Amino acid sequence: MSHAAIIGGGVVGGGWAARFLLNGWDVAVFDPDPDAERKIGEVLDNARASLPALYDRPLPPEGRLSFAASVADAVAGADWVQESVSERLDLKHAVYAEIAAHLPEGGFVASSTSGFKASNLAARGAPVVVVHPFNPVYLLPLAEISGEARYCDRAREVVASIGMHPVVLRKEVDAFISNRFQEAVWREALWMLKEGIATTSEIDDAIRMSFGLRWAQMGLFETYRIAGGEAGMRAYIEQFGPTLGWPRSKLTDVPELDDAMIDTLGRQSDAQSGHLSIRALERLRDDNLVAILRGLRQTGSGAGGVLLEHERSLPEGGEIDGLPITLRKSVPVTWTDYNGHMNEAAYLELGSRATDELMKLVGADAAYIASGKSFFTVDTRIRYLDEVHRGTMLTVTTQLLEAAGKKMKLFHRVTKPEGTLAATIETMLLHTDLTSRRACPPEPQVVAALETLAAAHAGRPAEGAGGAVGQRS
């Protein structure tokens, strides 16, 4: 499957287009808005700067984007049809009727609806499955799926293949899972605003400074399990369960959104973030999400686990001029500094990751390390040859300069997409017994792999290797 049709190119449709494109799919968009190309282009700019930065392997080559003159043109030949038009049932039914005439046999429409059940959507026209994402679609992995089982199974496979986390609802329900939570919090927030308990800024602070951070990596039930202490969830329920009967919240009551309430909302929201454009807010949101998601991938928690699973399906390896490619990576915003370019610590991390890949190549992999042996870095020299900025796709090749006894000396070349040499990283390592923490000879299979690689790399120039700090060569 490689061709997606996006019907409706707004915030959500544009996010779907970016998610598919950056995972190698060709995408055809239909949207009658004359500004659709500009808007989707801006969404793509944000996605290109953020999604690849989550991974330590490159995503597939970007697909081809086209804009169709009609629904029929967009859907023709499509393997996947994603509908993201406004939340009006009559409009969705009219669009489905157009799509139905051009769907391949056995095809269905995936709807981005935020609240309608699949059974309501499929009342006429083409078969419909709810595939509800979260904004920004190109970064947040959740896709809530409901509808006929045979279509849900196919939808689950597709969204997982583009790095998302499918949750198939066990029963149909309006607004699905996550939006019902959001609506509950939204209602309570509106009441606190209406009654003057807190401003929009203070309510947002209460979320992002507390349970918002906890939920990002553990969710609701694991959070409460910890709150119960060593006795777990039962202890939590025994202590706090009775509070559910207290009249603390107004979740079943909705405040009237009269003119005064709307004015308060608008005025406080403008005071809170009106100094930033929507695009600036989106970039801030994306930078924050990249930092949080990359933090979560370190432990594989929450959405970080989804990233790691998807990354395992992405290709790695290869050679350039006979040298192994040990890393290809887009520079995340967390690797940049106040000057806007990649900082010194990031080069060390880049070299460390490339070294790890070279170690795997010669057999010093995770199993080898678990057996009690590894290589320890004892010296590193970095030359910074060209500026590197956020979003730059860097390729690292590694040359084995020396493999004698306990020593392994590596020379990493870091290049930019146009072939410019951005940096070199020279690293000396000693093979070490992890029990005694003393240097020792490598195991025979690692020695043999190192000798083979050293012979292949022998005689190659390594411009800049072996110099002192400040030396120009």
Residue 149 and residue 94 in one domain? yes
Q: Are 25 and 59 in contact (CB under 8 A)?
A: no
Domain edge (last residue) among 176, 211, 243: 176
Q: Establish how many alpha carbons lie within 13 A of residue 255's alpha carbon, considering only the half-sphere containing its beta carbon.
A: 23
Question: Who contacts 103 (Cβ-Cβ below 8 Å, separation ≥6)?
Answer: 75, 81, 109, 126
Q: What is the pLDDT of residues 56-105, one digit of tens each?
A: 999 999 999 999 999 999 999 999 999 999 999 999 999 999 999 898 88
Number of domains in the chain: 3
CA distance to 39, 46, 285, 348, 439, per residue, from 308 (Å): 30, 22, 22, 22, 33
Residue 259 and residue 383 in one domain? no
User: Based on the number of CB atoms within 10 Å of its own CB, is 131 exposed (0-12), middle (13-18) or buried (19 or more)?
Assistant: buried
High-pLDDT (> 90) share of the chain, %: 78
**What's the confidence (pLDDT) of residue 41?**
96
> How many CB atoms sit inside 10 A of residue 219's CB?
12
Residue 472 lies in a domain: no
Q: What is the pLDDT of residues 415-440, one digit of tens each?
A: 999 999 999 999 999 999 999 999 99
Q: Which residue carries 């991974």 as its tokens?
A: 55
Residue 80 lies in a domain: yes
Residue 246 and residue 384 in one domain? no
Q: Are 20 and 27 in contact (CB under 8 A)?
A: yes
Query: Residue 82 and residue 8: Cα distance in Å, rounded?
Result: 8
**Which CATH number is 193's domain given?**
1.10.1040.10
**Which CATH number is 326's domain given?**
3.10.129.10
Q: What is the pLDDT of residues 381-394, one digit of tens each?
A: 999 999 999 999 99
Residue 155 and residue 205 in one domain? no
Q: Are 327 and 352 in contact (CB under 8 A)?
A: no
DSSP at 125: S
Query: Residue 268 and residue 122: Cα distance in Å, rounded?
Result: 40
For residue 111, give the nearest of 56, 162, 73, 148 by alpha carbon.
Answer: 148
The residue segments making up the domain with residue 382 are: 319-457
The β-bridge relationship of strands 393-404 and 323-330 is antiparallel
Residue 64 and residue 205 in one domain? no
Q: Establish how many alpha carbons lie within 13 A of residue 305's alpha carbon, considering only the half-sphere containing its beta carbon.
A: 8
Average pLDDT taken over every residue of the chain: 92
> pTM for this structure?
0.86
